Structures are given as structure tokens and as C-alpha cells.
Amino acid sequence: MLRSVRTLAFIPAALVFAILAASPVAAVSAVKTTGEVGNWSFDETQESPLVTCKGGPEVAPDYSYMKSVKVKPPTVFAADRNSEKVDSRKVTWKFELQHTVLPSTNWKTVKSSAVQHATAHDNLAAPFSAMTVAFKANHDSATTADEIRVKVTIHWLKPNGSVEGTVTFLASYYGVISGVGNFTSGQPWCQEVASAG
């Protein structure tokens, strides 16, 4: 998957809709919630994305291959079940790197992060940290029609360790770090994007 810092190959109609439909604070899409969960957020913006795609050395004028994807963690609290005390829960988070080749809309998970475990309180978020997975585009994909998306999963666990509640979502904004410059994009997927210059 080659990346250009000067050109924009195309944006499929579905992506244009996703961009236009997102409000300035809408950092996620396709949110699914099951069971009992606490407050959570993924507070990124187009100017400050929580997902960054790292490229390797320049292999052609203004192009480089994507090498890895880094995702900063969501902010996760325990549910406030009792207002007279501080509630806590064990929580986890992970992300999956999913891939498709246009015009297909069938997404396949190609890489998964580790699963981080921590304790969240109703007044103090879990102390999660960022995670990175490698995706060597020159080996794992072949065309500029490749699309990449990041799916995040948060679990709240019962005291016995079973899952009490789950949130899954897709991250909306990506920062792309190429071999020839740093810039951000409002596109939902890590694909070829235009620089500001």
C-alpha cells in the first residue's frame, strides 16, 4: 500500500458520507453496546487523531509504504451503581486492524493488538496505554485500492471474570505519518490522503 503526501486518489461515496455525517466531536462510528457498561470516550479530532499510521522510507517520489498502526486508548470508567460509594470494575481494551480491497466491502481482521487489563473506578479512568501493530503494506497488500480500518473493543468484567458489558466501535480520524512528512486526514480509513501542502 503506497502512500502519497501530495495526491488524493479517490474517496468512495460511503466514505464521503461518513465524513459529512460526523460532527466535530464524533470520533467514532458503528458503535455497538451490549450489557452493562460505564462511561467511556475516544476523544479525538481531525486535528488530534488517536490513530496514527507509520510509513517507511520514501520508495518513489512522495510515496512510502505503511509499516504500522498505533492506537491510543479509550477513556474507560466503571459504571456508577451506588452513589454512596466508589464503584470499580476490571476492564479491558484491544483493537483489530481490518482490511478490504475496493470495491469489496467485506472486512477481514488481519492483525490484532494485545488485550490490556486494568481497574476502572466510577470517578477514575482505567490507566490504559497506547498499542501498536505492524502492518507491512509492501508485503500484506498490493494496491492503492486497499482500505484499512480500526475496530476497538472495550469489555467490563464481572467479579468472576466473565463479561458484563461490551462496547465496540470504529475510529473515525487518522493521522498518517509518511516517510516524507506528517499530516492528518478526516478520512475514516488509512488510505492514500492529501497533505496540506
In a domain, 192, yes or no: no
pLDDT for 21 equals 30
Q: What percent of the chain has pLDDT over 90?
A: 42
Instruction: Please check whether residue 195 lies inside any domain of the structure.
Output: no
Taking only the tens place, the pLDDT of each residue in 172-182 is 888 877 666 66
In this prediction, residue 181 carries a pLDDT of 65
Query: What is the pLDDT at residue 87?
Result: 94
* pLDDT on residue 42: 93
Q: Is the pLDDT of residue 143 over 80?
A: no
3 state SS of 149: strand
Does 11 score more than 60 pLDDT? no
Contacts of residue 125, defined as CB under 8 A and 6 or more positions apart, other chains included, come to 75, 76, 77
pTM of the model: 0.79
- Cα end-to-end span (Å), the chain: 21
When the pLDDT of each residue in the chain is averaged and rounded to a whole number, the result is 77
Cα–Cα distance measured from residue 129 to residue 123, given in angstroms and rounded to the nearest whole number:
18
Q: What percent of the chain has pLDDT over 70?
A: 70
Residue 194 lies in a domain: no
Tell me which amino acid residue 137 is: A
Q: Note the pLDDT of residue 167.
A: 97
Q: Distance (Å, rounded) from C-alpha 149 to C-alpha 99?
A: 7
Specify if 74 maps to a domain: yes
Residue 190: inside a domain? no
Domain range spanning residue 7?
2-185
Domain count, the chain: 1
The 10s digit of each residue's pLDDT in 33-92 is 999 999 999 988 777 888 888 877 777 666 677 788 999 999 999 999 888 999 999 999
State residue 45's pLDDT score.
79
Check pLDDT > 60 for residue 189.
no
The verdict on residue 15 lying in a domain is: yes
pLDDT of residue 179: 64
Provide the pLDDT for residue 6.
25
* Range in 10-19, 32-41, 98-107, 156-165 with the lowest mean pLDDT: 10-19
The Cα–Cα gap between 197 and 184 comes to 12
Amino acid identity, residue 162?
S
Residue 17 is classified by DSSP as H
Q: With respect to residue 197, please indicate whether it lies within any of the assigned structural domains.
A: no
Strands (E), 15-145: 28-35, 40-41, 51-60, 63-71, 75-76, 88-101, 108-112, 116-121, 131-134
| Cross-strand partners of 58 | 64
Query: Is the residue at 24 inside a domain?
Result: yes
**Integer Cα distance of 94 and 114 in angstroms:** 6
Greater pLDDT, 75 or 6 = 75
